[in-house]
Structure 1
Amino acid sequence: MTKIHDLPFHKLDLSTTIGVELQYFEMDDSSDSKMEAMGAHRDDHYLFFLVEKGHASIQVEFKERQCQARTLFYVIPSQVHHRINHKEATGWILQVDPSLIPLSYIDIFDHLSFSKEPHLLNTVQFKEWKGILKLMDTKIQEDQDDPLYIPIVHAMLQLFLAMTAKCFNTKPDMSLKLSRPIEISQQFKRLVTENFRTIKKPSSYANKLNVSESYLNEVVKKVTGFPVSFWINQEVILEAKRQLYYSQLDIKGISILLGYDDQSYFSRFFKKITGTSAVAFRAKYRK
């Protein structure tokens, strides 16, 4: 059976030991070719992009996002993305280990991340973000043996994350303070990401979290706006679309990969959730 990580999976700890990596990109055809050569892949970390000048584009989960000058955008762990085109742009790419991001910020970044669009900063905001990244870059390049090296870099990262979370917060009534509901919701979503191929029942996730199914559903719906079943189905369908779009597996192979021995049942499930058949989806996006 094909493993779920048949698409390339990039790990941040292979390139940095402090959980943070910052790169500046310029109008350079060669750098764009390198990114193009990477093809469709996933990361185990968050990617944040700040475009300074020109225009850049990135395809995330079948949709190409267009980033003009002064735009801020991000990709969450495990989202399939590719063809980062920045040959006509300059800007920054910040890679961050999830363990360094407070759960309250993760809730904002991950909430409906599949529909998030780039955020256009005003002139004043842009100067602030650019200033933070330039200073962070300076600190990252300094003496790593200094006992305060990591605390300083991480402190600057927290400032960037807090300001960015504020930009993308679509739930203004939600407190940024870590709460038990937010913590449970994030634990649930991590469990779904790790287990959706083998665990489909809401009650099973509730058991893993040592809470009742009704309480888990209440908490997840309050925090995210959607019930437990939505997120389970969302993860299954998203992975199905990834495989239909990027892999050469047939429908039977994909259904088995996702934990469905009955291809017919999987096909009906896919059509019920998406409104189209798996065959039609593949045909449409592979034109």
Structure 2
Amino acid sequence: MQHKKDIPVRTLPKEFGNGIAIAKVSPDTFWEDEETTQAHRHDYHFFVLQKSGITVMEIDFKQYRTDKPTILYQSPNQVHRALKVENIEMFMLIMSNENIPADYLNILQSISPLEPLEIGLEDLDIIEKSYKLCIEFYGRTTDKLYSSSLRDSCNALIALMISMYLKYSKTAESLSRFERINRAFFLSLEQNFQNLKRPAEYAAKLNISVSYLNECVKNVSGFSVSYHIQQRVILEAKRLLYHSDKSVKEIAFELGYEDYPYFSRLFTKICGMSAKTFRSKNRD
């Protein structure tokens, strides 16, 4: 692994000025991009259809091996890299935040992080057709409504992929009161974990009492609000320790801890080892 001062963030090249890129990917073109093997984040949303072949991906310290038709969504904050690719036939769609409707973004936030999802032949057929249609629109740059038709067709594809993920998760209408509050808490946690560390701050955002928030979250997840706040902070700390060269003190400050010794004790308590030990152990 090559390590940098911070986790590399891949941005859309300037030639994709409309914030959309879509393509069919072969094994040769995949490995031409060496950065895919180095851990990185995106500043865009990433939608993948793997039709055939084998891939092994590492996403936030978990490895996923895929050898069947599969869809995958990666949000901008996830850290990932490719470990193995063999004989793939794959389609990729990149979309900037402003090109995706707000209601789609809200759904993606509420169900993320998502794991690779194996799909059946019927779903594969319509997803592949949608990718190919979007690729056709992508090439019609002289059309007067080029940007609109491209964006709308790509969002239709995104809607299909979201729908497939939602098949395997509960809809908002079917959630209990506890489950709705639990989902709202996790959405707020993802947006605020660097600044808000106390359960009372999240309860205030949701306009409920701390005791009721704890009751809801523990009923659904089995763990307290404080547990989940700490786990989310430590995940980000692990990302930075492993994928960047920032000092432990710099990481503590970035995650909202001015009291560096407290952060060090918290990391050791959660992980069973110090932050420096975690870094050296995982880089060996």
- 1:61/1:14 CA distance change after superposition, 3 Å: farther
- 1:182/1:105 CA distance change after superposition, 3 Å: farther
1:230 shift after superposition: 5.0
- Per-residue displacement from partner, 1:222-243 (whole Å, max 9, x unpaired)? 9x85775455334321221012
1:267 shift after superposition: 2.3
1:175 shift after superposition: 3.6
Equivalences for residues 112-261 of structure 1 within 5 A: 113=113, 116-147=114-145, 149-169=146-166, 170-175=168-173, 188-189=188-189, 191-192=191-192, 196-204=193-201, 211=207, 214=210, 217=213, 221=217, 229=226, 232-261=229-258
CA contact (8 A) 1:49 1:94 kept: yes
CA contact (8 A) 2:185 2:202 kept: no
Specify every segment of 5 or more residues in structure 1 that has no aligned partner in the other structure, as ranges.
Answer: none
Count of matched residue pairs: 273
Structure with more contact order per residue of length (Cα contacts < 8 Å, sep ≥ 6): 2
CA contact (8 A) 1:25 1:92 kept: yes
- Is 1:68 the counterpart of 2:73? The answer is no
- 1:6/1:65 CA distance change after superposition, 3 Å: same
The alignment yields a C-alpha RMSD, in angstroms, of 3.8
CA contact (8 A) 2:6 2:246 kept: no
- Per-residue displacement from partner, 1:232-263 (whole Å, max 9, x unpaired)? 33432122101221223343343233333433
- Is 1:26 the counterpart of 2:26? The answer is yes
CA contact (8 A) 1:107 1:182 kept: no
Supply the AA of the counterpart residue of 1:94. L
- 1:91/1:40 CA distance change after superposition, 3 Å: same
Specify every segment of 5 or more residues in structure 2 that has no aligned partner in the other structure, as ranges.
Answer: 175-179
CA contact (8 A) 2:64 2:116 kept: yes
CA distance in 2: counterparts of 1:143 and 1:71, whole angstroms: 30
Identity %: 27
CA distance in 1: counterparts of 2:124 and 2:36, whole angstroms: 30
Equivalent residue for 1:265? 262
Compute the TM-score of the two structures, normalised by the length of structure 2: 0.77
- Per-residue displacement from partner, 1:196-220 (whole Å, max 9, x unpaired)? 434423444566x584564994899
CA contact (8 A) 2:5 2:244 kept: no
CA distance in 1: counterparts of 2:224 and 2:217, whole angstroms: 5
CA contact (8 A) 1:245 1:286 kept: yes
CA distance in 2: counterparts of 1:190 and 1:122, whole angstroms: 31
Equivalent residue for 1:278? 275
Compute the TM-score of the two structures, normalised by the length of structure 1: 0.76
CA contact (8 A) 1:71 1:121 kept: yes
